Amino acid sequence: MLTQLSGPGWLACGANAIAFDPLCGDGAGQAAREAILGAAVIQAVTERRQSRYEQAAVLLHYHSMLLASMRRHLRICAQFYHTGGKTGWWREQVETLAAGFEWCTERLAELSEPQYELHGLRLYPRARAA
């Protein structure tokens, strides 16, 4: 996973942004979800007259959602790897997955709650609770 997934005028996507372990079988679903989110982010940034702050918030949302996807993927992979065997190699893989999961958790804790949500194929600011 790249440490920076977007910037002014660009989004990292696909295996160049985050790469999923093929053992899990979650890659095709992630590709579709990421493509929909990426298209919605591009549309939100280019169609609306947004300040740089608002554009940065949309890009941060993209980063947060991909980070959350990676965290979820690592949890799913750990379930598969736990059944792989008891040798040192399998234990090392499970420990590496756990470390990655914790890293993602720590990064997500540093970020604000998602500020946007998808409605259809468009990204909209979330309504704030009163």
For the stretch 7-61, pLDDT in tens is 878 899 888 888 888 767 778 888 899 999 999 999 998 876 778 888 888 999 9
What does pTM read for this prediction?
0.87
The two tokens of residue 61 are 């949302």
Reading the block at residue 20, the tokens are: 């999923």
Handedness of CA 117, 16, 106, 60 (dihedral sign): negative
CA–CA dist 39, 26 (Å, integer)? 20
Question: What's the DSSP call for residue 48?
Answer: S
Inter-residue contact 59 to 7 (CB < 8 Å): yes
Contact 103, 70 (CB under 8 A): no
Contacts with 42 (C-beta within 8 Å, 6 or more apart), sequence order: 11
